[in-house]
Homo-oligomer: A and B are copies of this chain.
């Protein structure tokens, strides 16, 4: 799957992933009205509104981006109906040829991590049958529990040729509270980066590993160091745009081959119609606004990192 992701990034000349993280407040009123008319102001109604909203955006941008990253929390907040919408979103994006990165940030130990892995990127056995329950292509994984927590995901990756992105240095302001603490004079995130490199070395695709890393756009100096520690690791970079990360800061996240990183934007793309710059599209044209913002983002990133 890492080979497919790299292939799509090259083909579309877009090291960009769009985060499908829909808050209900982002969804245009006409979509909510339609969903609530059919399902009422219920969890099912909210889930339907979110799925229709996603579908509009995906239809407008699938041909110019390699991947999407649905944030499962935004669906899980609507309970089981929300998770139905998550599953439908994953399947719809895959039907459009997109690589799907489930932003699930799971992490547990042993058989519990295996359960998350089979549920999201593998298959589960039921009697004599087997099923791919959520069937994303990649998922994000939290490393706090150590190798016991990550290894079961890596095993499923190898079996299914899927991938993970392990949180190394996150984009949020307080990420340094624990991640930056100095351990033998080096920050913890560097040790995590070394482990990611080690876990990934036994699960290699053609040029990059099935095991990627998350490193926030908001800390470019750290990105530069981590790039060197994890040369064969694809880096998923959140924090561009709404969180303050700039394209001009992103060059250190890439390798000399122009590959090695994929930059995420969520709100900046899916909520573009609320941005003055794209306001001419109006609510009805929210998906066209998202496409215009995606085109601008791809140009912005490419101009800075090539």
Q: Taking beta carbons and an 8 Å cutoff, which residues of A are in contact with B? A: 21, 23-24, 32, 36, 41-43, 45-46, 71, 73-74, 76-80, 82-84, 87, 105-113, 115-116, 118-120, 124-129, 131, 133-134, 142-149, 167, 170-179, 181-184, 188, 191-192, 195
Which chain B residue shows the least CB distance to A150? B174
A179 to B32, CA, bound (A): 45
Minimal beta-carbon separation of A88 from chain B (angstroms): 10
- Residue among A110, A129, A178 with max Cβ neighbours from chain B (10 Å): A178
Minimal beta-carbon separation of A28 from chain B (angstroms): 14
Q: Which one of B78, B147, B148, B174 lies within 8 Å of A148 (CB-CB)?
A: B174
B112 and A21 contacting across the interface, CB-CB below 8 Å: yes
Which chain B residue shows the least CB distance to A132? B79
Contact status of A195 and B177, CB under 8 A, knowing A76-B116, A79-B133, A126-B43 = yes
Contacts of A45 in B (CB 8 A): 126-127
Known: A71-B115, A149-B174. 7 other contacts (CB 8 A): A43-B131, A76-B119, A77-B124, A79-B134, A83-B83, A145-B170, A145-B174
A191 to B83, CA, bound (A): 35
- Residue among A21, A84, A119, A125 with max Cβ neighbours from chain B (10 Å): A119
Contacts of A142 in B (CB 8 A): 105, 107, 142, 144
A119 and B175 contacting across the interface, CB-CB below 8 Å: no
Contacts of A105 in B (CB 8 A): 106-108, 142
Contact status of A143 and B144, CB under 8 A, knowing A87-B80, A118-B77, A127-B41 = yes
A146 to B167, CA, bound (A): 13
Minimal beta-carbon separation of A40 from chain B (angstroms): 8
A80 to B84, CA, bound (A): 6
A171 to B23, CA, bound (A): 36
A108 to B77, CA, bound (A): 13
Contacts of A108 in B (CB 8 A): 71, 73, 105
B77 and A133 contacting across the interface, CB-CB below 8 Å: yes
Q: Could you jot down 7 A-B contacts, CB within 8 Å?
A: A21-B112, A73-B108, A73-B112, A74-B115, A80-B133, A146-B174, A177-B195
A67 to B149, CA, bound (A): 26
Which chain B residue shows the least CB distance to A170? B145
